[in-house]
Every structure is written in C-alpha cells, then in structure tokens.
Amino acid sequence: MNPNEKERKVADISRRDFVGGVLMAATLSTAERSVSAGVAPSVVAPAAHSPIDAPNVRAATSAPPADYPPARSGLRGQYPGSFEVAHELRDGGFAGDLHAVDTGEHYDLVVVGAGISGLSAAYFYRKALGDERKILILDNHDDFGGHAKRNEFFHNGRTYLSFGGSMSIETPFPYSFTAKSLLAELAVQPASYKRYERARRFTGLQPGVFFDREHFQADKVVAGWGSRSWREFFAEAPLSDEVRADLVRLHESATDYLPHLDPAEKARALKKMSYAQFLSTHAGVLAESLPFFQGGGWQFRNNMQLDTCPAYVAWRGGAPGFGGMTIAGEPKYAASEFHFPDGNASVARLLVSRLVPAAIAGDPDQESIILSPAAYARLDVVGAGVRIRLQSMVIRIEHMVAPDRATERAVNVCYVEHGVTKRVTAANVILACFNNVIPFLVPTLPAEQREALHYASKVPMQITNALVSNWLPFQRLGVTSIHAPNGYHQEIQIDTPLEIGGYESVRAAAQPVVIQMVRNPHVPGLPRREQNRLGRADMLATPFDKIETEVRAQLDRLLGLAGFDSDRDLLALTVNRWPHGYAYAYDTLGDPDVPEHERPHVLGRRAFGRIAIANADAGAGAFVNVAIDQAERAVQECLASRGLI
C-alpha cells in the first residue's frame, strides 16, 4: 500500500467512526446568543457569538457530532485556521483604524486566552468581586483549555480519551497555597490519585529503548531501561563491545569526573557546561556512544537537548555519569501528581463547569468530570455571568482614556471572529495568552516592556495520539513505553492504566488503546532559543500527511517485528501541534545570569493601567501551577488598578 492509500485509510476510518452521532443538547437560537452581556447593544454584531452552532454534547457510548471539538482528528493543537490572524498582525496587518463592529457589550473583565491561566483568572476575579461580575473570555481556538486539550476517539461503540497537550498535575517545585486551594475548590485531591491506577495491567512490562540501525548495529527494542541492571540491559542492545562497555561504565560510574573541585565549585562548573560537554570532555564518553543520549529522554525538560542542557540540570534530572560526584544543589522536591485520562483538560473542564455551569453541568468532581458532557453551544450565551467566545483572535487592546483617568468603560478590546473585526469594552483586561503576542496587541506598552515580552522563545512540542487496534506488540516486547533517542518522536507510550469516573483507559492487550507519542523538534548545534524558533518554523511548514507517513513508518519500525502493521492496526490519528508550546524556562548556558527581578518575564508582566498580564510565560515556567499563580497575581493587579484593594 502506498502512503497516499494509507492516508486515505485513516481518514476513512475516522469518518466512519465519527458519523451518525446522537445529538443530545437543545440548540440555542442565534438571537439567544448574540445580544450583549448586561448592557443594551448599540450595534448588535452580525454573527452569532457561539462559533459552533451545532449542539456539542456527548455521551461516552454514542458517537460525537462531527464538529465536537475534542473528537476532531487530523492536525489539532495550533491547527491551520487558528493562528493566521495573529501572524498577519505580527507582519504589520491591522494597522490604523480597525473599523470594528461595536457589539455593544461591556464587561467587568475581558480575558484573552481560555487556557488554564485565563480560566483561573476569571475564577479568581469572580471570587474576589462576586458572581454578578460579567466576564468575557476570548480564545482563538475552537476549544477551550489552551495547552490542556482533550482528544477523543470513538470506535466500535466506545470512547477513547487522551491528552492533546498538558498531561499531569505535577511540578518540580511545590504548588502554592493559591494553586492548591484552587484544585481543592475544583474537587481535585492529588493525594487520592493512586486509587485510580491499575498498575497490575502492566505487570512484567518495563520501559524500553529503541536502538536504531543508523546509530547502532541494528533496529531493536530493549526492555528494562532503568529497571534492570545496566549490564543486563546493555547486554541485549545491538552495540559494539566498546560502546557497550562505555555505556555500562558511565551508568555504573563511581568516578568523580571533576576531582579538583569542591561540591559548590562542581555545581558552578556544571551549570556552565552542556551535558554533551560533560560526557565527552570530562567523563570521556566515546563519540559512538553519544547517540544514546540524543533526543532528551525524561531527564531533559523544556527542549533542553544534549547540546543545550546544562550538565547541572541533567544531574538534577537523574542523568547518568554523576554517581561518584558530590554536587551542591537545591533539594529535589517530590512532585505531587494526578493524571487524568485526558490530562489537564480535566482541570480546564472543571474550571469551565464552575464558570459556565450551563455548558458543563452538575458541579462535577475529579471523577464525574471524566465523562461529563460539554455543551459547546452554551459557552457563550447572553445573560450568563461568564461567556467563553471561541474562534476569536484578539488583535488590539487600548485604553480609551489615560489609564489614571479611566472610568468603568476603560479599555477597548478588538478581536476577529470569522473574518469580522469586532469590539467590546471592559473595566479590566487580563492577557492570559502568550508573552510574544502581547506587544502586538498593546502597541502602546513602554518600549522596555515590549522588548522584555519578546525575549522568551516558546518551546515547540508535538503530542501525537494514535488509536490502534490492540497493544499486543507492546506486551510481546515487554514494554509500556519506548524511548527512541533518534526517532521522529522521542517517546512512545501507552498511558498509565486508570479506572476513574466510569472510564477505563487501558483494557486487555487485545483491545484498542491510544498510543501517545511526544516530539520536540530542534536543530542540534544552535543556541536553544534559536533551536526553538527553527523547530516552530519546521512544525508550521509540515503538513498532516507528512506527519502521518512518519508516524506509520516509526510505529511499523518499532513494533513491526512484534506484529504491528499500521495498515491494519492504525485506526485514527490526532496530531496535537504546539509550535508555541511550553513557556520558556531560563538556563545557565544561554541566558544572562541576572537577579530574578531583572528577568525579562518579570519586566514584561508589569500591569499597564487597567491591563494585567497572566499566563505561564509571565512566570517563566511551563506548569499548570505557574499558570494559576500568574492568574491570581494578575487579578490582584486588576483590583489594585481600580482601587478595590
């Protein structure tokens, strides 16, 4: 079968499984949705305010309607059609008078971005000022949640869930009181997580590594990465005797490779060298062994690769080579963890249930949220306290009078919805979007602040979800996950088996399952921010059919000898493309060593009159708790801007 025929096959299966859904919500009329919130409109916007006109409620046992956002397959994440207006703005479009249609709507707060930070900001604002406050949340995508997106597949009468981006409630540093309290108010108890895990379904299976024939001696998956003795593990790997001995030596090392330095000096030195330099120059690792460390692995976060990851970060993450060294370091905090079958989309959905109860009803908790239906047509309804308006890209925000003389109608917010430029007003605005986009939205920001907001370089990420007919090949190989150091995706896994809220994520090995694959595009040899930039460009230039061809080739190569055949076993594919993925976190190799208050994210997030800045970029940390904490700070600044605290 040629690649084109294969592509058709996935599309056909997806279509077949996604048609014939049972529609379960009452459709709202255009009139119900299109009038202003609280203030009589001077001009009513011509288009309906819910971008999705079909009722989008679903139940786990019925196929979703074709336009139900979580069930859309193909290219998702920052999908074609969602970002072009922003790129036009970046390239000088939308200059001068925008001739925006005045919707006549006025809000206490307009939030730009319906990710965890924007949703949290709306939650905190109402908590501070009361539920009668009117809030509009604008987002350019057809689904809420930002990076915390839900993917659904429907096959043979069953729904299969996966995460499209943000995976788990976890962090290398403790959750703040604010973030912990929010989770508690959403009825999420991280400590209860283990009760949902069904680890026994993976008894006898271990993490594996794929050794590829281009860098090693043959294609082979070896089980037991980090769970067997290194001698046993590498004994099965297709390696020359020299490379095998070299890798065993490093992993079992009790040698101090910087013997002339005390622990504090070691820490300082390791912060200033890459892990690649440490391995080659100090640990004497052979050039032929280095491909084993390419592509990150669990120890490298934020797209820090072999050549851009400070050796100190690698040490803290548990990378090999430091066993004989005493290094001064901050303690490693135990990360609390709660993993939903749809990742942190459940957190976003819980927030929406509190903000717009008509859309996700029943005050769900950490269990009942899993299969709670979401009525997308009810997200943006006239009269509701909070309205979430999707497919709406904000392009300009400006104070209507000098910020210090601002009245209730202080700020103009212009956005493009279905090609029409529209305008609402607000007393406060919170930018819970991306730092890089803010200077284009608020051109009147001081130059120094604009420059600071441009500094960060978002990390490109891809989470590919493949529904396959069974996971017998994983069982035959003895693995639950495969790390492919030099692969198109670097991580391939079956999700942790969970039973929660009436949903089972992994059943018997002969049953269908979602395989999750993670990719961090990068260009070795360049500074990390530049690698991120080129990775983003590469992602934007890569069409779905090319990605599908790569997915098929990689799965056939990794799992083929264990019986996988993508022509037969690949049922549906959703590629979550996040060129603007993780918030950029600083490193000690490429970023200036300056005090925290001089960091670009701190300079960039200063409130500007009635406009405050939230989002994970404002905390320089790619974690849910950072997004929540920044939301809370931005709300405090809004209240201060109006003399309310």
Ligand X SMILES: Cc1cc2nc3c(=O)[nH]c(=O)nc-3n(C[C@H](O)[C@H](O)[C@H](O)COP(=O)(O)OP(=O)(O)OC[C@H]3O[C@@H](n4cnc5c(N)ncnc54)[C@H](O)[C@@H]3O)c2cc1C
- Mark 112-137 as b/e (b = at least 16 C-beta within 10 Å): bbbbbbbbbbbbbbbeebeeebbbbb
Taking CB under 6 A as the rule, does residue 616 contact ligand X?
yes
Q: Which of 64, 65, 70, 118 binds ligand X (CB under 6 A)?
A: 118
Q: What are phi and psi of 450, to 5 degrees?
A: -60, -45
- Using CB under 6 A as the binding rule, the residues of this chain from 211 to 250 that contact ligand X are none
- Residue pair 485/508 in contact (Cβ under 8 Å)? The answer is no
Interacting residue with ligand X among 112, 250, 279, 427 (CB under 6 A) = 112
492 makes contact with ligand X (CB under 6 A): no
Q: Which of 37, 433 has the CB closer to ligand X?
A: 433
CA atoms within 13 A on the CB side of 54: 14
Looking at residues 409 to 468 of the shown chain, list those that interact with ligand X (rule: CB under 6 A). Answer: 432-434, 437, 441, 461, 463
Q: Which burial class, exposed, middle or buried, applies to 192 when counting CB atoms under 10 A from its CB (0-12, 13-18, 19+)?
A: exposed
Give the nearer residue to ligand X in terms of CB position, either 248 or 394.
394
| Binding mask of the shown chain, residues 507 to 546, with x at each position contacting ligand X by CB under 6 A | ----------------------------------------
Choose the binding region for ligand X from 46-54, 162-170, 475-483, 486-494 (rule: CB under 6 A): 162-170
Could you give the CA distance from residue 321 to residue 279 in angstroms, rounded to a whole number?
A: 8
Considering only 356, 611, 622, 638, the residue that binds ligand X (CB under 6 A) is: 622
Those residues with Cβ within 8 angstroms of residue 196's Cβ, 6 or more apart along the chain or in another chain: 498, 499, 500
Residue 155 neighbours by CB distance under 10 Å: 18
Tell me how far, at minimum, the Cβ of 620 lies from ligand X, in Å. 10
The yes or no reply on residue 579 touching ligand X (CB under 6 A) is: no
Using CB under 6 A, which of the segments 96-104, 128-136, 146-154, 443-451 binds ligand X? 146-154
The tokens for 543 are 């069409």
Are 299 and 319 in contact by the 8 Å Cβ rule? The answer is yes
CA 465 to chain centre: 14
Tell me which stretch binds ligand X (CB under 6 A): 108-116, 175-183, 288-296, 473-481: 108-116
Give the total of residues touching ligand X (CB under 6 A): 42
Q: Which stretch binds ligand X (CB under 6 A): 33-41, 110-118, 296-304, 546-554?
A: 110-118
Q: Which stretch binds ligand X (CB under 6 A): 142-150, 187-195, 301-309, 326-334?
A: 142-150
User: For 442-527, where are the alpha helices, taking DSSP H only?
Assistant: 447-455, 472-477
Amino acid at 433: C
Backbone angles phi, psi at 414, to 5 degrees: -110, 135
Burial of residue 470 (CB within 10 Å: 0-12, 13-18, 19+) is middle
Closest CA to 384 of 587, 136, 112: 136
Of these, 17, 105, 108, 139, which contacts ligand X (CB under 6 A)?
139
With contact defined as beta carbons under 8 Å apart, do 506 and 514 qualify? Answer: no
Residue 267 Cβ vs ligand X, minimum distance, rounded to whole Å? 26
Sole binder of ligand X in the list 69, 70, 104, 113 (CB under 6 A): 113
Per-residue contact string for residues 299-338; x = within reach of ligand X by CB under 6 A: ----------------------------------------
> In angstroms, what is the minimal distance from the CB of 576 to ligand X?
7
Give CA–CA dist 152/12, Å, rounded: 17
Binding stretches for ligand X (CB under 6 A): 86, 112-118, 138-141, 146-148, 165-168, 170-171, 344, 393-394, 432-434, 437, 441, 461, 463, 578, 581-583, 615-616, 622-624, 626-627
